[in-house]
Amino acid sequence: MQEGGAVQTGPDGLNTKDALILGIDFGGTKILSAVADRNGNIFGSDYRKTPADQGPEGVVEEVIRSARATLNTLSLTPSQISAIGVAAPGLVNPDSGIVHTSPNLAGWKDVPVRDMIRERLGPETFLLNDGNAGTLAEATLGAARGVSECVYVALGTGIGGGIVIRGEIYEGSRGWAGEIGHMAIDMDGPLCRCGARGCWEALASGSALERQMKRRLVEDSGRERLSFPEHPGKVSARSIYLAALNGDALAAELIAETGRYLGVGFANLINIFNPEMMVIGGGLSTMGDLLLAPAVEEAKKRAFRRSFHAVRFAPAELGLNSGVLGAALFAWRKQGPRHPR
C-alpha cells in the first residue's frame, strides 16, 4: 500500500476497486476530479476549466464530463466506484446536497448539485463545502495529522478554510461554519464578493493584492518610481510576486501590506480558537516569507501572547489535491466502509 498522495496508475493499484471513491472539487475557475482510496492514494485524475458563464447546468455537465474522463483513464465504470464526494464553493448544505449561493459562481441559487450528479453517474453521492473538504484532508492526511485543534487557511483568489475542534470539522448548526474569509476586518473596507465590506478575503487575498496594485499603478502613473513592468490590466498576484523577487519596491510593499491584513485575521482566529496549529495553504501561500513573515509579525502583535506562542504555523502538504481528497474522505466517512479489509 502506498503512503501519502502519490499518483499511481499502474494496474496493480486497482485491486481495491470496491474501495475506490471518486472525489470532485469544483470552483469558479477549475474542476478537478480524481479516483482515490481512503489512504489518499490517487489513481487517476482530470483537470479542466469551469465554464462559469454557462450557469449551474453547464457547470454540472462539465463536472460530469470530468468525472467520466477520470474513470475512463482507469477503464472503470461508475458502478465500480463505491461512492462520490463533491466539494463545492459557497454556502453548501451537506444534508440536503444543495449549493445555496456561491460568491464565485454568479447566478447560483439553491442548486441540488448532489442529486444532479448522482442521477447522472449512479453511485451514492455526498456534498460538502470546499473549504471544509480541504480542512478534512489536511487534518486527516496532511500537515495537521493527529492535531486536535487547528485552523486551515487556504489563500487564493479568495480565502477559504475551516476549523477543526477535537479532531472533527466544526460545521456549525446548519453546516455553514468555517467561512473564515468573510470575517470583517475593516467595516468601511473594499466591497467583498459576498456583498459585505471589508471582509478578510477582500483585504488579504490574491484578488485584493491585484486590486491594490492596479489602483496604485493608475494613481501613480505620472511618477517616476514605477518599476513594475505590467500594464494595469495584466496585473496578477503571480506577476506582482515575480516583480517583488526582482526587487520592485512597490510590489514588495503591497505584498507586505497584504501580509499584515492576513496577520489581523490570524490574530482573530488565534484568540477565538486557541488552535494548536494554523495550516496555511493555497496558491498565494507559495509567496512564502514575503507574505507570511509580515503576517506572523502582525499576528504576534495582536493575539494574546500565550495563545500566539501556543500555535504552530505549518504549510499545507496536499497542494491542489486537498479538495478532491477531502471530498473523497468525506464520502468514505459518510458511507462507511462497505468492504472492510
- Tell me which residues touch Zn ion (CB under 5 A): 182, 192, 194, 196, 199
Please spell the DSSP secondary structure of 231-292, one letter per residue. Answer: -GGG--HHHHHHHHHTT-HHHHHHHHHHHHHHHHHHHHHHHHH--SEEEEESGGGGGTHHHH
Of 189 and 232, CB closest to Zn ion: 189
Query: To the nearest whole angstrom, how small is the minimum distance from the Cβ of residue 262 to Zn ion?
Result: 15
Query: To the nearest whole angstrom, how small is the minimum distance from the Cβ of residue 339 to Zn ion?
Result: 42
d(CA 286, CA 163): 22
Query: To the nearest whole angstrom, how small is the minimum distance from the Cβ of residue 207 to Zn ion?
Result: 12
Q: How many CA atoms lie within 13 A of 309 on its CB side?
A: 2
Q: Which residue reads 444534508 in cell numbers?
A: 95
Of 196 and 293, CB closest to Zn ion: 196
Cα distances (angstroms) measured from residue 76 to each of 232, 235, 254: 47, 42, 48
d(CA 321, CA 325): 6
Of 204 and 270, CB closest to Zn ion: 204
Of 264 and 328, CB closest to Zn ion: 264
The DSSP code for 39 is T
Of 196 and 249, CB closest to Zn ion: 196
Of 22 and 199, CB closest to Zn ion: 199
- Maximum Cα–Cα distance across the chain: 69
Quote the cell numbers at residue 286.
507559495
Query: To the nearest whole angstrom, how small is the minimum distance from the Cβ of residue 273 to Zn ion?
Result: 19
Query: To the nearest whole angstrom, how small is the minimum distance from the Cβ of residue 199 to Zn ion?
Result: 3
Query: To the nearest whole angstrom, how small is the minimum distance from the Cβ of residue 202 to Zn ion?
Result: 6
**If 0-12 CB within 10 Å is exposed, 13-18 middle and 19+ buried, where does residue 49 land?**
exposed
Of 140 and 205, CB closest to Zn ion: 205
Please spell the DSSP secondary structure of 136-193, one letter per residue. Answer: HHHHHTSTTTT-SSEEEEEESSSEEEEEEETTEE--TTTS----GGGSBS-TTSPBPT
Do 90 and 41 contact (CB within 8 A), yes or no?
A: no
Query: To the nearest whole angstrom, how small is the minimum distance from the Cβ of residue 212 to Zn ion?
Result: 17
d(CA 325, CA 85): 9
Query: To the nearest whole angstrom, how small is the minimum distance from the Cβ of residue 75 to Zn ion?
Result: 44
Of 60 and 180, CB closest to Zn ion: 180
The DSSP code for 132 is H
